[in-house]
């Protein structure tokens, strides 16, 4: 009897984007999966995480991590099932969190894999609330933002994977949480479902005035994920000794040059100086990797107690990953963006 050939689809970086990524920056390739050698396992991707940092990997500009080479598989976190094993530590059926990237299958020796409970009810959560984005929200807010009860915490991209968690932790710490999101539907969700005190639509013509009205006692912590016009509206509202965890700058990821117009740098530095504001960037696993267990224990408890809610935006079909990723950078996702690569 002949063994059935397994075909692996992978999406590679076809060309580097100039400005916003387009479909032709990606290329779908197919190849057959070879027999796995001793000491290795074959993983079948079930869920692929799509995250804004991937835009940085598509570029060869200097950054904190090396770029994806042209023709190489796009990087990405995955939840996978072991479908064949020649490795003593893994059995067929095991569920793992790994980094297989944008592909159906990966042969690996297990380096960097985290075992998940094989019967986990929603394995995709390991890519969101119980994984990298949840960890980012937790450490950025609590270690850099250091919110005190009664303070006002403003959260950019508030309906998304990171921001939705930041505001809910702020509420658990007794703060006033004000979200910023794109559109009335996202803003309603942030207030009605997640329990923020207020949420302002950054597409509104009077967005700066609405934000000021929602923060009558100024802003003590601003969780920055966006930059651009959102940061410009936040800057004058910051209180003395405010803290700014600088998590991301998604409004600028597609920039090809510095924006034209007034130079805001003197205003920024004067505000930081006179108000004695602390602004600190962080890269979650580089800076806080050793504290993942602490985060996981606390977040798992909060989540199981219903104290933190989480929304996923699940896209079916591996071939839809490029369009979903392009949409993520344009705010078309609503919650943590995940691609369902295969049925569990």
Contacting positions for ligand NDP (CB under 6 A): 51-53, 133, 136, 157, 159-163, 181-182, 186, 202, 225-226, 228, 230, 247-248, 250-251, 282-284, 328, 331, 333, 336
CB of 210 to ligand NDP, least distance (A): 15
The residue among 93 and 289 lying less far from ligand NDP, judged by its C-beta, is 289
Q: What is the number of other CB atoms lying within 10 angstroms of the CB of residue 91?
A: 11
Closer to ligand NDP by CB, 82 or 130: give it: 130
Q: Which is nearer to ligand NDP, 242 or 284 (CB)?
A: 284
**Shortest spacing between CB 51 and ligand NDP, in angstroms:** 5
Nearer Cβ to ligand NDP, position 11 or 328?
A: 328
Least Å distance between CB 282 and ligand NDP?
5
Closest CA to 198 of 158, 225, 237, 166: 158
Structure tokens at 28: 């779908």
CA distance 220 to 153: 6
Q: Pick the closer one to ligand NDP by CB: 104 or 312.
A: 312
Residue 121, classified by CB atoms within 10 Å of its CB into exposed (0-12), middle (13-18) or buried (19+), is exposed
Q: How far is the CB of 85 from ligand NDP (least distance, A)?
A: 32
Instruction: Give the dihedral sign, CA 18/14/325/323.
Output: positive
C-beta of 62 vs 216, nearer to ligand NDP: 62
Rounded CA separation 284/276 (Å): 25
The nearest distance, CB 296 to ligand NDP, in angstroms, is 16
Decide: helix, strand or coil at residue 190: helix
Minimum distance of ligand NDP from residue 86's CB (angstroms): 34
The enclosing H or E element of 56 equals helix 53-57
Report helix, strand or coil for 125.
helix
- Residues 6+ away with beta carbon under 8 Å from 330: 20
Q: How far apart are CA 337 and CA 311, in angstroms?
A: 9
Q: Which is nearer to ligand NDP, 109 or 287 (CB)?
A: 287
Q: How far apart are CA 276 and CA 295, in angstroms?
A: 29
- Smallest gap from residue 220 Cβ to ligand NDP (A): 20
In the beta sheet, which residues pair with residue 200? 180
């Amino acid at each position: 009897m002949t063994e059935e050939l397994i075909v692996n689809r992978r999406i590679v970086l076809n060309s580097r984007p100039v400005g916003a990524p387009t479909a032709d920056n990606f290329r779908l390739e197919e190849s057959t999966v070879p027999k796995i050698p001793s000491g290795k396992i074959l993983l079948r991707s079930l869920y692929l995480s799509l995250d804004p940092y991937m835009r940085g990997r598509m570029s060869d500009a200097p950054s904190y991590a090396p770029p994806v080479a042209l023709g190489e598989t796009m990087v990405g976190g995955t939840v996978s099932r072991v479908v064949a094993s020649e490795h003593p530590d893994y059995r067929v059926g095991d569920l793992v969190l790994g980094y297989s990237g944008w592909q159906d299958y990966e042969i690996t020796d297990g380096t960097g894999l985290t075992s998940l409970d094989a019967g986990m009810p929603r394995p995709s959560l390991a890519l969101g609330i119980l994984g990298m984005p949840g960890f980012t929200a937790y450490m950025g807010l609590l270690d850099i933002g250091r919110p005190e009860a009664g303070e006002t915490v403003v959260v950019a991209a508030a309906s998304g994977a990171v921001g939705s968690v930041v505001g809910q932790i702020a509420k658990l710490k007794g703060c006033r949480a004000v979200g910023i999101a794109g559109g009335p539907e996202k803003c309603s969700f942030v207030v009605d479902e997640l329990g923020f005190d207020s949420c302002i639509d950054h597409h509104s013509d009077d967005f700066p005035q609405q934000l000021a009205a929602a923060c009558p006692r100024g802003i003590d912590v601003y969780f920055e994920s966006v930059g651009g016009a959102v940061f410009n509206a936040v800057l004058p509202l910051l209180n003395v000794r405010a803290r700014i965890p600088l998590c991301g700058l998604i409004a600028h990821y597609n920039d090809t040059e510095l924006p034209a117009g007034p130079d805001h740098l003197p205003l920024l530095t004067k505000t930081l100086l006179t108000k004695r504001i602390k602004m600190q960037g962080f890269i979650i696993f580089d800076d806080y990797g050793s504290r993942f267990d602490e985060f996981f224990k606390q977040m798992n408890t909060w989540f199981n107690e219903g104290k933190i809610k989480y929304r996923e935006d699940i896209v079916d079909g591996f071939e839809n990953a490029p369009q979903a990723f392009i949409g993520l950078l344009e705010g078309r996702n609503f919650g943590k963006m995940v691609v369902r690569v295969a049925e569990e």
